[in-house]
Structure 1
Amino acid sequence: MRLIVTMCVTILFMPLVQADVAETKLENETLQINHQTFRQEVVRYVRDVAISNKDDETKTALTTLEKEWNNHSQQTHWRVHITSFHQGQEVGKGEASGASLTEALQQATKTSLNGKIIKSKTDLDDYYFKISFDYHPDHVYSMVNNEDKAYELQGDRVIIRHVDKERIKQQIKQSKAYLLRTINGDYAGVFKFYDAEHDSSEHLLRTTYSATTLNTLIRLNQFQKDIELQSYFDEMAQFLLDRQLTSGPNAGGFDYGVDPDTDKETCRIVVGTTSKTIFTLLLLHQMNPDEEKYLKSAQSAGDWLLKMVNDDGVVTPVAQCDNDKWTYNDKQSILYSGQVVSALSRLYATTHNADYLDGAKLVASQLVREVGLHGALVGDDYRPANSISSSWIMMALIDLAKVDPTPVYQKTILQIADMLVERQIDQPDDAYNHGRYLDAMTTSGNGWINEVMGEMVPFCEQQKLGDCDQYREAMHKTSRWLLQNTYNENNTYNISNPKQAMGGFINNFSSQKVRTDAVCHGVNGLLSMLENEPEGTEVFMDLPERPLAELLPLLRAGEYD
């Protein structure tokens, strides 16, 4: 009897069990959908709503998917925010919430358009939609479109998860074009900042940024011969030569900059400006060994640097004139001192003039002493202890160690390199920050450290220092972060002149400015990464995204006030 009852009950409830199993199977299959499909369908739906502006005409795969995602055992409360942009300008914002994803998207899209009517697909392609979902606790899942393609967004950065050789080459090409756009047509000098928010650039043409830009363009030409690049070299070199003082107590130094409208110079001579200009002059000399002017200028600049070095190795960083009266700033800068060591070391490598080597060693002794007293993370009168200042000591000692193998230089280089690797953010789950250095918030700072690591890899291998791959891996991580913080075709939805900004490295999280040397450091590091990689390397990084199956239930639940 008991067996008969059990069989009857089983037969009675079997359809319900099978239905439940089928529903669970369907939901499990649906949860296998990936992020890109989800983003793509959401963007397609929003664009359909935007162009048609009629509910009954918005039929896409998202409607079907929403039915499949529906989970009767979970309360559903999608919460959506949409901001619409047209030609870089914000059109409006809309938000909506509720049990239906498609209804929430419709309402938020219409509100964000602020009454704008989009009549054709051509017009629609000029609109960007930043779409965000709130979920508990206080998290946001965002995306943005570029025409009909959808991209992962965090903050206002399109996230880069895959980095391969072709992507690096594409970035180098775009950044080269950006640098060429910064060159003043009359003077062939370069400004410091371009403001993408207001589509304007600084007026003053600065010698150090002009020298750094020419340096990078020469490196690009060395990497791959480029007749277009070569056509800029002579005029840019002349701009540098024209900034050099030829008389007076600071003859040999380079003026900080010039106003292109008045032709008036700043009458401010900085050891950092002069040192970086020496770097470029020596490259020009290597390209044109029969032309004496570049080496002669570099030697004159080096002689001035030697006069700015005190007997204890401390460097006087700035000379300033007012009505022909010179004053000198005695604030100490690790960054400037490191640049002086590099410049004098490179001069010695070219000229074999022992005065330059002696000067480099004298300043280096002060820098090594700082590391010995305070550790690898050092600061100065301008900045508290920070990674960028330390990286300049590292770069300086690499240059010096190439011409003087004193063991303490190598020891200090490794000490700083290990400290920097430890201070790199290594959090693959945090794509927004993964790869940058803890106290370096800008692309110029992270780009510079990446450039130094690009010098460290071959130095480490040549000197057989061991575990050189850790510096190569550090470059992979930082390079991905730098690409993510660059104006490209997908990262320009909120600026008015994308063509001008394209290829520029965005200065920091809260700014839409591009700093010229950030682009130079970024390109130099990328070139070094390509040069330093073992033959056959095609993919540098794949950063995984959290499975959508884990996130979708949270997005369905939304965030309550």
Structure 2
Amino acid sequence: MHEDEHGFYKKYDTLNDDFGNRLHTIYSASIIYTLLKIYDFDKDERILEGIPDWGDFLLSMQSKDKETRGAFHYSYYFKSKEKEPRFVVGTTALSIFTLLDLYNRTGDSKYLESAKLGGNWLTTMQRSDGWMKAYKEYKGGEWVYGEKKSLLYNGQVLSALSRLYKVTGEKRYYDAAEKITQCFTEKVEKEGCYLGDDYRSKNPISSAWVVMSLLDFYKINQDEYYKNIIFKCSGELLGKQQLETDEPLYYGTWDRAKGEFQHT
């Protein structure tokens, strides 16, 4: 974590003792979310003490500009004080996870209002067929969009919108979530539970995000159809887990889930 900005780095270069020159919103949101869950386990008061500063960094990364209002900048160059003009739907979605958790714990409406603004922007990034555009970025003097389909990003957005609807009851979030759900269920019906997308061939991480996000949607629409898909696909994923004891280093893992899994 940067001591002054209170945002989190993506990685640490041990050979060169270097954290890099920017802080990443998605890693900051994910680390805060993880620390909050750790607090639930061991009640470490240092975590609660960090909430105001961490929360303020996260809020500061939300765009107030008309063109991208509600979206979260991908990263922040702390030396030049510049925010990257790149807005990834997964970054905003995972920020919503954390903001809703912060709101639930503190009761501070600023976190809920920020989450809603993020959700509103996400609905503008949905294509007519229900799939999400991956990102919006200012590049070469114009706004460009990521048109590749990503199960990971769509899953993150589906979960975020489902959670927002559960808290707010605002129909716009449900409607957008339902469209992604339809995209997922149609894909499962056609291709099965082990899935890939425009970024990756079939792999367990993309497949797991379909299941996890459908579970969030099931919490707001308890249709048996969704429950059946959740159990069916969860079972198939478990069946692909490596349980051979002659490879102890990989016991319990999944093929194609090792190493860094990131969209660029």
Correspondence 1:277 to 2:121: no
1:413 matches 2:212: no
TM-score by length of 2: 0.95
Cα distance 1:244–1:324, how it changes in 2: closer, same or farther (>3 A)?
farther
Q: Equivalent pairs: percent with the same residue?
A: 34
Give 1:368's match in structure 2, choosing from 173, 179, 185: 185
Whole-Å separation in 2 of the counterparts to 1:287 and 1:430 = 43
The answer as to 2:138 corresponding to 1:308 is no
Structure 2 CA distance for aligned equivalents of residues 398 and 212 of structure 1: 19
Shift of 1:233: 1.0
Instruction: Give the TM-score normalised by the residue count of structure 1.
Output: 0.45
Within 2, Cα distance between the matches of 1:235 and 1:247? 23
Alignment gaps of 5+ in structure 2: none
Cα distance, 1:426 vs structure 2? 0.4
From 198, 202, 205, give the equivalent of 2:23. 205
Deviations 1:258-281 (A, max 9, x none): 011011111000000000000000
Q: How does 1:290-369 map to 2 (within 5 A)?
A: 291-322=108-139, 325-369=142-186
Q: Deviations over 1:403-441 (max 9, x none)?
A: 111222112212221121111110123211111112211
1:245-268 Cα offsets, whole Å, 9 max, x none, are 112222100000101101111100
1:226 positional shift: 1.9
Matched, 1:265 2:72: no
Equivalent residue, structure 1, for 2:49: 231
Q: Which residue in the other structure is 2:105 paired with?
A: 287
Of 432, 440, 445, the match for 2:249:
432
Residue 384 of structure 1 aligns to which amino acid in structure 2? S
Q: 1:524-535 residue pairs with structure 2 within 5 A?
A: none
Q: 1:314 to 1:197 in 2, by over 3 A?
A: same
Equivalences for residues 20-169 of structure 1 within 5 A: none
In the aligned structure 2, how far is the partner of 1:203 from the partner of 1:242? 18
How many residues align structurally? 262
Alpha-carbon distance in structure 2 between the residues aligned to 1:194 and 1:421: 33
Q: CA deviation at 1:337?
A: 0.3
Higher strand share: 1
Give the Cα–Cα distance (whole angstroms) in 2 for the partners of residues 268 and 430 of structure 1: 41
Mapping of residues 428-507 of structure 1, within 5 Å = 428-442=245-259
Q: Which residue of 1 aligns with 2:220?
A: 403
2:201 paired with 1:384? yes
Deviation at 1:197, TM superposition (A): 4.0
Distance in structure 2 (CA, Å) of the matches to 1:204 and 1:372: 42
The equivalent of 2:2 in structure 1 is 184
The unaligned stretches of length 5 or more in structure 1 are 1-182, 446-514, 516-561
* Alpha-carbon offset, residue 292 of structure 1: 1.4
Q: C-alpha separation between the residues in 1 aligned to 2:99 and 2:43?
A: 19
CA distance in 1, matches of 2:6, 2:94: 17
Structure 2 CA distance, aligned partners of 1:228 and 1:243?
23
Residues 290-328 of structure 1 show CA distances to partners (whole Å, capped at 9, x for unaligned) of: x21100000000001111112221111100013763211
Compute the displacement of 1:203 (Å).
2.4
Q: CA deviation at 1:244?
A: 0.6
Equivalent position SS for 2:66 = coil
Shift of residue 330, structure 1, vs aligned partner: 0.8
1:254 alignment partner in structure 2: 72
SS across alignment from 2:112: helix
> 2:129 aligns to what SS in structure 1?
coil
Partner Cα separation in structure 2 for residue 245 and residue 262 of structure 1: 18
- Higher alpha-carbon Rg: 1
Give the distance between the partners of 2:167 and 2:84, measured in 1 at CA: 31
- Aligned CA RMSD, in angstroms, stands at 1.6
Give the residue type in structure 1 aligned to 2:224.
P
